[in-house]
Amino acid sequence: MAVQDLGRLDGKVAIVTGASRGIGQAIAVKFAEEGAHVIAAARNAADLADTVAQGDGRIVGQQCDVQHADAVKALVDRATNDFGALDVMVNNAGVALQDLLVDTTEADWDTTMNTNVKGTFWGVKFAIPAMKAGGSIINLGSITSFAGEQTSSAYVTSKGAVLMLTKNAAAETARLGIRVNIICPGPVDTPMARVYFEATTGSAERTEEITRMYAPLTGLIPTDDIARAALFLATEESRSMTGSSLLIDGGLLASWDHIES
């Protein structure tokens, strides 16, 4: 789809991590459609080809493993050196390893924490000094930022940590004109989510049935719905919001107690 100059992010510079597919890709493309220059990042630069192609010249790709500080700092340096600013930082890169706590290996725990928590930490840390004129930092949490599950102990713990990192960073940066907020999606229709759900349900058909029961408003949530929320947080429309959580779950947590029982 050709990018239209819709203007809500005209002249803005954004970084989106984990942008090769799913939520990150949807956000990067949405920002480009609204006039932003976007640096899209992923662990494998070759995986960004489709995202870049959808940007109509407004999206550039860069390899970045967010577990490593130097790689994240290089993203921010590219924004300021090549485009003169950083206005929006989206910390989306993440992993979701599914296992019971007693079966979780140290390696899996460390990978989850280093990607989901430390990777977000690096993004927030390096974005703050680059946002000299203020800006918006958007972190990606989960419904598991608020409630536990019967599996995925490492993932749930990491997303709870990202929620509190968001709140603390918001408290630190409000005086600088920087807003830090978190989007907490429910079951989103991404490749990673389908692997996660189908490992439990056993089939795509059963996944659709179960997610519609859990999230009665939507079932699996379109990635564009998350991208629209990110756009809202990236613009002046959310200028009075910081430390806030946007829960987009199709009604899942409204009936969580019933589901879990």
Residues that are catalytic: 155
Give the pair of three-digit tokens for residue 64. Answer: 């970045």
CA-based nearest residue to 146, from 97, 98, 186, 96? 186
Q: Which amino acid is at 160?
A: G
CA dihedral 16, 38, 167, 105 (to 10 degrees): 10
Cα–Cα distance, 68 to 73 (Å, whole number):
9
Place of tokens 């940066």: 173
Cα–Cα distance, 225 to 190 (Å, whole number):
12
Collect all residues with Cβ–Cβ distance below 8 Å to 206 and sequence separation of at least 6. Answer: 198
DSSP string across 136-202? EEEEE--GGGTS--SS-HHHHHHHHHHHHHHHHHHHHHGGGTEEEEEEEESSB-SHHHHHHHHHHHS
Instruction: Find out whether 232 and 238 touch, Cβ atoms under 8 Å.
Output: yes
Instruction: Find out whether 215 and 221 touch, Cβ atoms under 8 Å.
Output: yes
Give the pair of three-digit tokens for residue 50. Answer: 């489709």
